[in-house]
Amino acid sequence: MSPDFERQIQEGPREGLPALLGELARLQGLVLARLLGPVETPQPEAQDRLLTAEEAAPLTGLTARQLLTRRRLPFRRRVGHRTIRFSERALRAWLRRSS
């Protein structure tokens, strides 16, 4: 129990104890809900592949040249000074949102 609650119980006005008791019951409910709720297990992230423009083009319906010249694609990744790849995971998420 936090020292603040203990101090309110011991030193606070007696008239404030019912409100404090209500707050403690509310907090207890929140704790129980969290304990009894579903356990969230983190999903292992799927391995992301970086695709070439030629590999990504059939998935997007664009040509490889169109992919390379469009700079604002959310799945476009610059991996070197003159090397561009496309994140397969981000590309598939983009396609799901776009359809």
**Is 99 a residue whose pLDDT tops 60?**
yes
Please give the pLDDT value at position 45. Answer: 61
DSSP letter at 78 equals E
- Does 27 fall in a domain? yes
Q: Are residues 56 and 91 in the same domain?
A: yes
Rounded alpha-carbon distances, angstroms, from residue 79 to 48, 84, 87, 95 = 14, 6, 11, 22
Range of the domain at 76: 50-98
Among 33, 93, 14, smallest CA distance to 60 is for 93
Please give the pLDDT value at position 32. Answer: 87
Q: Are residues 31 and 56 in the same domain?
A: no
8 A C-beta contact, residue 8 and residue 16: yes
pLDDT digits (tens, 9 = 90+) for 12-34: 898 988 888 888 889 898 898 88
**Is 1 a residue whose pLDDT tops 60?**
no
Q: Are residues 57 and 91 in the same domain?
A: yes
pLDDT digits (tens, 9 = 90+) for 31-77: 988 888 887 766 666 689 999 999 999 999 999 999 999 989 999 99
- Does 85 fall in a domain? yes
Please give the pLDDT value at position 73. Answer: 93
Q: Are residues 65 and 92 in the same domain?
A: yes
- Does 26 fall in a domain? yes
Among 95, 78, 75, smallest CA distance to 87 is for 75
Count of structural domains, the chain:
2
- Does 45 fall in a domain? no
